[in-house]
A and B are shown apart, each in its own frame.
Chain A
Amino acid sequence: MNTSETSQSIHEQIVTLLPRLRRFARNLTRNPHDADDVVQIAVERALTRLDQWRSGARLDSWMFKIVRNAWIDELRSRGRRGKIFLAAEAGENIGTDSMAREAELLSVQSAMARLPEDQREAVSLVLVEGLPYREAAEVLDVPIGTLTSRLARGREALQALLGTEGEAT
């Protein structure tokens, strides 16, 4: 009885997390339909692997990691298409000067979409989802030093894009 009560409360905890899982997935995939598909896959996976969740661990970090892994699997299965997609994105980053001129007009979301994937993930987990560095590093499976350098570069790029460098308010 005790185990079913615990798992019931985990179901409701996951329900509570859904808005954040969707938000994180959108930042990963940059496509709301992909994001919801990935969240659904991740939730179903999580429920079959509840035994792998240590009750001392944060449920949000654990779920973010499953969402991210589901997205990585999705990109792998798309294979070549994913590569073409990334190439197009890389092309968008050419011409930093003209980008700087339109910096004021860029919304935070579109600035985020221009970040390289590793920086976008770090910014999304720490600044949007509010995870401590240690938790974010664990979600991304990288040492904490790697996380902080990605975060620092991502922030620098965002500040350049948004034109908030040196702004004091």
Chain B
Amino acid sequence: MTISDETLMAYADGELDAAARAAVESAMREDPKIEARVAAHRTLRRKVLEAYSAELSEDVPERLLAAARGVESTRSKVVNLENARAAMERRASRGRPLRPQWRTAGTIAASLIAGVGLGFFHVGTYGVAAHAKRRRCARRSRTARAGAVEPACRRTITGFPRADWRELPRKIR
């Protein structure tokens, strides 16, 4: 009985159904050469897998993490910011002295707003506008003959993009 190498390979990869598996196993028992060929397939599979396992523990670049997390998470921060602004305006329009417990609440609100503001900076660096810029850069890099990302484009990832701060609220809509 002859068994094709593709069948032995499929056996080593666990791709055969029960009947075909049984046929290969009985052939392996009868012929040590067949057994050695299956062993060679398994050895190669293991070697290849081992050779590439270290790559999985490398740090993933920030730009890829940001791309994967997408616009969704940054949008909710902006909504929070708008809510905070509206709340601040409502408080200001009341225009009367605050009672002590409101003063405490005001302090908390102020620190919240500061926190959200920091979030806004974060959005400017990693969020929608930066994302759009990266898309433009990616498109440019695809058309560029060199294929590499231009230095100016790389800068948008690490630098603080002032322009993004201004264009963000418009872009988000």
Give me the interface of A with B, judged by CB distance under 8 Å: 4, 7-8, 11-12, 14-15, 18-20, 22-23, 26-27, 33-34, 36-37, 39-41, 43-44, 47, 73-74, 77-78, 81, 107-109, 112, 123, 126-128, 130, 132-133, 148-149, 151-152, 155-156, 158-159, 162, 164-169
Contacts and interface: CB of A to CB of B under 8 A. Distances in A.
B106 interface: no
A11 B145 contact: no
Contact of B63 (A20, A40, A127, A152): A40
Interface in B102-146: 134-135, 138, 141-143, 145
Contacts, number: 129
B5 A152 contact: yes
A22 B45 contact: no
Contacts of B41: 155
Interface string B53-69: 00111101101110111
Nearest to B135: A44
Interface string B31-63: 000001101110111011111100111101101
Contacts of A128: 48-49, 52
B60 A41 contact: no
Given A33-B148, A168-B39, A152 B15 contact: no
B71 to A, nearest CB: 8
B44 A158 contact: yes
B168 interface: no
B119 to A, nearest CB: 17
14 contacts: A19-B60, A22-B55, A22-B58, A36-B64, A37-B149, A47-B70, A81-B147, A108-B52, A109-B52, A159-B44, A162-B47, A167-B40, A168-B40, A168-B43
Interface residues of B, number: 45
A9 to B, nearest CB: 11
Contacts of A159: 40, 44
Contacts of A109: 51-52
Interface stretch (B6-14, B20-28, B86-94, B158-166): B6-14
A15 B48 contact: no
B44 A164 contact: yes
Chain A CB count within 10 A is highest, among B9, B68, B134, for B68
